[in-house]
Amino acid sequence: MALSRCSPMISSEGRTRSTASILSLSYAQEYSGIFLTPAAVLAYYTLHARFEATHAGLRWRHFGRWTSVRWEEITDYYLTIPDQHRETPAIQVSGRRHIISRGWTRHAALLSAIEQHVSTPAPGWELLGCRPGEWSIQEFFYDPARRQRRIVGCGVSWIFVTGCCLAMGFRHFTQTTQTLGVGWALAQVGLFLLYDIPITLIITAVIAPEKEAFSRRRHTITTSAVGIRFSDGQRAIEAAWSDILAYEEGVLGKRFVEYSRNCIKTKQGDFDFTVVIHDQRHLCRIIDHWVPDTAREKPIPGEGVIGGEGSLWTGGQIGEGERVYHYRVSATRGLLLVYALFLLAPVLSGLVNGFGDVWRDKTIRIIEPLECISFLGCAWAYFHTSVTVTDNALIQRSLLGTIVIPWQDVVSYKNEEGMRQVISRSKHIRFSAPIADLEGLQTEIERRAVNSENKGWGKISRGYQGENHVTHN
């Protein structure tokens, strides 16, 4: 939408054509298929997909036919973390893992049915590799073939986006050259290429760590309740969890293309792994569960925070006042700047077309004020939204007002798909990962919410306990 509205349209007779009519034609011809096709596929999936649990077992379908399993065929159930995703329930059937999406309706009832009908040594939905009396062994490895497909996909996406930007920029290049000159025609192309810059940065950041999968293709890491084992094809390091001296997180790469690297130091030797190892988030959670507290890297509260650690206190200095957790961090500031760049598109278009012609476009007259209001709301949230921890209560300040939950009224707290929630009987406080010093805030809530029904984040609540459960999308 924003891509079309900054195109300078000049007729062959030298008269400026209406930007509004060009925009309307562009939307109808160029974008309808892009949006309608995915919408049709999603509509079909929503109506067709289904997951059912009965007395006999489970059955489900997505786009195709039904898949059925009997209760006795399910050998295990647990929480897993698929590559770069959140904690997700899964069942084990004939050695294969089947993910149970959280998008199904009556999801809690489905999990309760599985828990009731399937027997395991450690009942309950817990993270695989971290369960009480864990008996399974987990292996993590690098998958070059998968990473190669990802690189190719990113490359094709970049070529497509860049081609669209160039095509729309050169669409009236000849006309603009004849009427305004080559300089304005090239400026027109440059306006569209501005939108390719953030896409290029994002794709570069995604592709940069993928090369690690090729140089580390022989590396494997195996975990169990006893310890951890690393092998790179030439050397092997095997250590009990108590033998780990340090578990640290660092970065590889350069500015704009940095990616995480985790290093483990043991009495037997040191090794590391990067973000592209298969199910990296799951591996990190397992290590974090078993590693001794003395080996954990102490988080730096002010790291990445605009204003430093002192801004995390109401008094402006470390130790002065109450702890306050805000959203003024590097990540949110970068997103705000990108948003501002898109808002400048009509201004840049106005420099070429004339502001009067740009403003005559109905789409811009409607969308631009709404986007400006949205941007101002985001900017206000960036500077003013916060969660404050006091001795007596948890306080959230946002555009919707102030919410106060006394610590004794906290019924539970949880991590639901990345959104942290603190719940009382009448109020909810929600905050998400970009907030400054997230781990510190979670630790404060765990320590102070003494009346909470659950201890720890990310637990799945128990659902309906009946005999026959049916859940569908």
Same domain, 389 and 449: yes
The residue from 247, 279, 298 where one domain ends is 298
Alpha-carbon distance of 288 to 241, in angstroms, equals: 10
Same domain, 343 and 415: no
Same domain, 380 and 392: no
- State phi, psi for 56 to the nearest 5 degrees: -80, -35
Same domain, 44 and 74: no
* Lowest mean per-residue pLDDT among 60-69, 327-336, 450-459: 450-459
Please give the residue that has the higher pLDDT: either 308 or 31: 308
Please give the residue that has the higher pLDDT: either 277 or 32: 277
Same domain, 147 and 232: yes
What CATH number is attached to the domain comprising 426? Answer: 2.30.29.30
Number of domains in the chain: 4
Both tokens assigned to 173: 């290049």
pLDDT digits (tens, 9 = 90+) for 75-118: 999 998 886 567 889 999 988 888 888 888 888 889 999 998 98
Whether 240 shows a pLDDT value over 60: the answer reads yes
Please give the residue that has the higher pLDDT: either 367 or 266: 266
**Measured torsion, CA atoms of residues 19, 22, 24, 29, in degrees rounded to the nearest 10:** -160
Let me know if residue 212 belongs to a domain. Answer: yes
The residue from 128, 147, 175 where one domain ends is 128
Determine the pLDDT at residue 362. Answer: 58
Both tokens assigned to 327: 């959203």
Determine the pLDDT at residue 273. Answer: 92
- pLDDT bracket for residue 300 (50, 70, 90): low
Let me know if residue 314 belongs to a domain. Answer: no
Determine the pLDDT at residue 69. Answer: 92
Helix, strand, coil shares of the chain, percent, nearest 5, are 40, 25, 35
Over residues 205-230, the mean pLDDT reads 88
Q: Please, how many CA atoms are within 13 Å of residue 80, restricted to the half-sphere of its CB?
A: 18
- pLDDT bracket for residue 35 (50, 70, 90): low
Alpha-carbon distance of 288 to 282, in angstroms, equals: 10
Alpha-carbon distance of 81 to 85, in angstroms, equals: 6
Same domain, 111 and 245: no
Contact (CB, 8 A) for 5 and 27? no
Q: At what angle do helices 173-180 and 182-194 cross, to 10 degrees?
A: 140
Determine the pLDDT at residue 104. Answer: 85
Alpha-carbon distance of 413 to 408, in angstroms, equals: 13
Over residues 431-448, the mean pLDDT reads 86
Let me know if residue 192 belongs to a domain. Answer: yes
Same domain, 345 and 404: no
Same domain, 294 and 200: yes
* Domain range enclosing 415: 385-459
* Lowest mean per-residue pLDDT among 77-86, 121-130, 173-182, 370-379: 173-182
The residue from 110, 128, 146 where one domain ends is 128
- pTM value > 0.75: no
Both tokens assigned to 29: 């011809």
Whether 247 shows a pLDDT value over 60: the answer reads yes
Residue percentage of the chain with pLDDT more than 90 = 20
Determine the pLDDT at residue 373. Answer: 84
Same domain, 148 and 282: yes
Alpha-carbon distance of 300 to 304, in angstroms, equals: 9
Same domain, 206 and 96: no
Let me know if residue 67 belongs to a domain. Answer: yes
- pLDDT bracket for residue 265 (50, 70, 90): very high
Let me know if residue 316 belongs to a domain. Answer: no
Over residues 64-68, the mean pLDDT reads 90
Please give the residue that has the higher pLDDT: either 395 or 33: 395
Alpha-carbon distance of 34 to 161, in angstroms, equals: 13
Let me know if residue 402 belongs to a domain. Answer: yes
Question: How many residues does this entry show for the chain?
Answer: 473
Both tokens assigned to 40: 């049709």
Same domain, 280 and 357: no
pLDDT digits (tens, 9 = 90+) for 355-409: 555 555 555 566 667 777 888 888 888 888 899 999 999 999 988 889 999 999 9
Let me know if residue 317 belongs to a domain. Answer: no
Whether 46 shows a pLDDT value over 90: the answer reads no
Whether 127 shows a pLDDT value over 80: the answer reads yes
Same domain, 155 and 289: yes
- Please provide the average confidence, as pLDDT, over all residues in the chain: 78
Q: Please, how many CA atoms are within 13 Å of residue 258, restricted to the half-sphere of its CB?
A: 7
Let me know if residue 318 belongs to a domain. Answer: no
